[in-house]
Structure 1
Amino acid sequence: MPTELEELVGFIAHPNPQIRAVAIENLVPFSESEPSIFKTEELKPVKHLKFLVRDIANIAEHALTILINLTGDQEILEFVATDEKFLEMVFSHIVHPEEPNADLLAMLLANLSKYEGSKAFFHRKQEAPSQLGSDDRVINQLMDLFVKGQDGAYNKKADFDYLAYVFADLAKHTEIRQYFLAEQTYDNVIPLTKLKVFTEHKSDIRRKGVANTIKNAAFEIPAHPSFLSEEGIDILPYILLPITGNEEYDVDDSMDMLPDLQLLPPDKKRDSDTANIQTYVETLTLLTSTLEGRELMRKVKVYPIIRETHMRVNDEGVQEACDRLVQVLMRDEAPAETEERVEEERVKEIEADEDDELVEV
C-alpha cells in the first residue's frame, strides 16, 4: 500500500496544474532527505519531473530543484543524462534570454557533466539566439552565456555562474581540453582566454569552476608554450594574482615580477577559498613540466610568491602543494631522460587529486 509520500509523488503528474504545483513544492525537501521515493516504478517519478521542466515557471523551478538534488544518485544521473530529448530541451531553454530558470538549468548541467558520457555535449549543435552572438555549437553558446551573461547582463534572472563547473568537468576529457586551447573560427578567440579574466571574480562558484577548468586544461602539456606566451593564453598573471596578498618583497624580486604583480594595493587579498589557492599552485606545478616553463617562473620570481603563500595560508593542502612546486623551482635541472620520468610522475600525482563533488541546492 502506498505511503502518504508516495501518493504525494503521484500527484506531480496530475492534470490540474494547481494540484501539480502544490505537490511538487512540498516534495522539494524530500528530494534530499528521502530521494528513494522518486525511484519507484523504474524511475517513473523522475520521468515525470523531466516533463515538468517544460511546465509553467514555478512548477518547472521546483522540478529542476528536485532533479538537481536527485542527480547525486548515479542511477538517476545516468537516466537523466542519457535522455536525448530532455537534453535538447535543456540546451534550447538555457540560451533563451528570458528563461526564468536559467540558473537552475546551469546547476543541473553542472551535475549532468559529471556523467562520463557528457563529453558528447561537445558535439551538440543548435541555432543560437541572435542576442547571444554565438555560432551553432552548444559548447560555444555555453561559453558566451557564461561571459556575456554574468550579473544578469544577458538574462536579468540569471548569472550563469554554475556553467564554470560544467567547463571544469568537460575539461577532464582530452578532446574538450583541446577545444579550450584552440582559437575558434566564429570569433577568433581562444576560449580559455575568455575564462581567465574571472579568476578574481566576486562569485565563489565562478572562481572555483574557472580555477579547475584552467588546471584541467593545463594537463595538455603541448599547449604550455601558449599558456605562458603573452601572445597566446598568457595565463601566469591570472594564476598568480589570486594567490598573492599585500606582502612586500625585496626590491630585486619585485622588479623582476610580472608587471601585473608589481605595486599591488595595500588592501590586496588572496582568494578567500584555500581550495582555489591549492588549485592554482598545482596548476603552476603542471606548467613546470617543460624547461621553458620552469625557467620563466624562475625569471619572474614565482618562488617568493609561493614562499609567502606557504607562510601565510594555514592550510595543509596549500602548504603541501607549495612544497612540491618549490622543490621543482629550486632544484638543479636533471638529465633529459630522468626529467621526462619525473614530469610524468608529477602530472599523475596532481591528476589523482581531481575533485568529483556533485553540485547540490
Structure 2
Amino acid sequence: MADELDELIDFLSNSSPQVRGAAADIVRGLTGDSDGLRSLAARADRALPALLRLLASVGGGGAGEAAADSLVNLSQDGDLAARLVVLGAVAAAMDVMVKRGGEQPKLARSLVMLLVNLTQVESGISALLQVGDEKVQGLYVAKLVRSFCRSSCDSEDEDIFEHIASILVNISKVEAGRRILMEPKRGLLKQIIGQFDSTNQLRKKGVAGTIRNCCFEADTQIQNLLSIAEYLWPALLLPVAGKKIYSEEDRSKMPPELANALSHEREAVDDSEIRERALEAIYMIVMQMMDERPFGQSMGHGYCRLVMKTKRT
C-alpha cells in the first residue's frame, strides 16, 4: 500500500494532464477520511509541494480543483497548515483566486476555505497580511474584502466568498490585522460592516466577530472607530435591540441613523453569539469614550442606558 501511495503522489506531477487529473481525484478521496489523511501526512514532504504545483498549473482544470480540495482537508492539521505556509500556499492561493476564480467558482470557494485554515496559524496570518513588505502590506486583505463585499448572495449554496468572513475574524485577532482593517484610507472596516445586513448567518457572525476584535484597539483607535459611527452603531446595537419599536422620546436621544432603524418593526437577531460579540464591542467602545472627555462620558452613559434597556426587552 505504501508503494502504491508513493506512486500515486508521483502521478500528481506526471506530464499527462489526464494522469494528473486522475491522481488528484484519488488523492482528494483519500483526504476524506482519517486513515487517508494520516497516510498523506506521513508523506507531506512530497505530497504538499506536488499538490501546490498542480493547483498553480494554468492548465490544471478539474485537477486544480481536486488539488485545492485536498489541501483544504490536509490543512485542517495545524502542523501541515504551517508547512504549507512555508511552501508559499498563501501567495499561491491568492494568485490562483485572482486569475482563475471568476472562471472556476468552485475552485475559488475551495481556495477561500484553504485560507481559512492557513490563517488559523500565526505564520499564515502574517503571510496573508504581507507583514514585512510595506509596499504591498494589506493588498491581499483588500482583495479579499472586495470579493467579500461584491459577492453577497441570498442563497448560501451560491455564496462563493462567504467563508472570507472567517478569514477576517482570524486576521483581526492580531494587532497588525486590526490596524490594516481600521486604516482610514483603506476604509476596509466600513465596507465589512455593510455586510451585516446579509441574510447569510456565516457572514453576519464573521462581521460581528471582526468588529468585536477590532474594538480591542479602541484605546488607540477610538477616533477611527467613531469616524464610521453612522455604520458602526446600527450594526452593534440592532442585534441587541430586539423587535421593539422605540418611542420618539427614546429616539430623540439617539444618533439619527440609529433612531431611524429603531423607529419601525424589524426581525430580531436570535443568534446568541452575534449578540454577545456586539455587546462586547459596545462595552469596549463605550468604556473608551467615557475615558476620553466629558462629552464622551455623556455619550457613553447614553449608549449604556440604551443597551440596558434593550437587554430588558
TM-score by length of 1: 0.70
Contact 2:90 2:115 in 1 (8 A): no
SS of the residue corresponding to residue 76 of structure 2 reads coil
Residue from 275, 278, 281 that aligns with 1:277: 275
Structure-1 residue corresponding to 2:114: 108
Q: Could you say if the C-alpha distance between residues 246 and 158 of structure 1 is closer, same or farther in structure 2, counting changes exceeding 3 Å?
A: closer
Counterparts of 1:330-345 in structure 2, within 5 Å, are: none
Counterparts of 1:232-251 in structure 2, within 5 Å, are: 234-249=231-246
Amino acid paired to 1:163 = I
Which of the pair is proportionally richer in helix?
2
Q: Could you say if the C-alpha distance between residues 17 and 158 of structure 1 is closer, same or farther in structure 2, counting changes exceeding 3 Å?
A: farther
Once the 2 structures are TM-superposed, how far is the Cα of residue 169 of structure 1 from its aligned partner?
Answer: 1.2
CA deviations over 1:47-95 (Å, ceiling 9, x no partner): 22112213422111121112111111122101111223x4333222222
Structure-2 residue corresponding to 1:82: 86
Contact 1:6 1:37 in 2 (8 A): no
CA deviations over 1:9-43 (Å, ceiling 9, x no partner): 55444443334333432443431422111123353
Q: Does 1:223 align with 2:221?
A: yes
Q: Could you say if the C-alpha distance between residues 297 and 307 of structure 1 is closer, same or farther in structure 2, counting changes exceeding 3 Å?
A: farther
Structure-2 residue corresponding to 1:317: none
Q: Could you say if the C-alpha distance between residues 158 and 18 of structure 1 is closer, same or farther in structure 2, counting changes exceeding 3 Å?
A: farther
CA deviations over 1:177-219 (Å, ceiling 9, x no partner): 12222222xxxx5211111111121222222221111111100
TM-score by length of 2: 0.79
Q: Which runs of 5+ in 1 are unaligned?
A: 129-134, 309-361
Identity, % of aligned pairs?
A: 22
Structure-2 residue corresponding to 1:146: 148
Q: Could you say if the C-alpha distance between residues 123 and 289 of structure 1 is closer, same or farther in structure 2, counting changes exceeding 3 Å?
A: same
Once the 2 structures are TM-superposed, how far is the Cα of residue 294 of structure 1 from its aligned partner?
Answer: 6.2
SS of the residue corresponding to residue 50 of structure 1 reads helix
Structure-1 residue corresponding to 2:73: 69
Q: Which runs of 5+ in 2 are unaligned?
A: none
Q: Could you say if the C-alpha distance between residues 18 and 27 of structure 1 is closer, same or farther in structure 2, counting changes exceeding 3 Å?
A: same
Contact 1:183 1:190 in 2 (8 A): yes
Q: Could you say if the C-alpha distance between residues 158 and 217 of structure 1 is closer, same or farther in structure 2, counting changes exceeding 3 Å?
A: same
Structure-1 residue corresponding to 2:17: 17
Structure-1 residue corresponding to 2:194: 197
Q: Could you say if the C-alpha distance between residues 107 and 295 of structure 1 is closer, same or farther in structure 2, counting changes exceeding 3 Å?
A: farther
Q: Which range moved further: 20-29 or 190-199?
A: 20-29
Residue from 300, 308, 311 that aligns with 1:306: 311
Alignment coverage as a number of residue pairs:
290
Q: Which range moved further: 5-14 or 215-224?
A: 5-14
Q: Could you say if the C-alpha distance between residues 31 and 287 of structure 1 is closer, same or farther in structure 2, counting changes exceeding 3 Å?
A: same
Once the 2 structures are TM-superposed, how far is the Cα of residue 259 of structure 1 from its aligned partner?
Answer: 1.4
In 1: Cα distance, 2:54 partner to 2:40 partner: 14
Amino acid paired to 1:199 = F
Contact 2:116 2:163 in 1 (8 A): yes
RMSD after superposition: 3.2
Once the 2 structures are TM-superposed, how far is the Cα of residue 248 of structure 1 from its aligned partner?
Answer: 4.3
Structure-2 residue corresponding to 1:31: 31
In 2: Cα distance, 1:302 partner to 1:234 partner: 17
Structure-1 residue corresponding to 2:175: 174
Q: Which range moved further: 2-11 or 270-279?
A: 2-11
Q: Does 1:256 align with 2:253?
A: yes
Contact 1:114 1:169 in 2 (8 A): yes
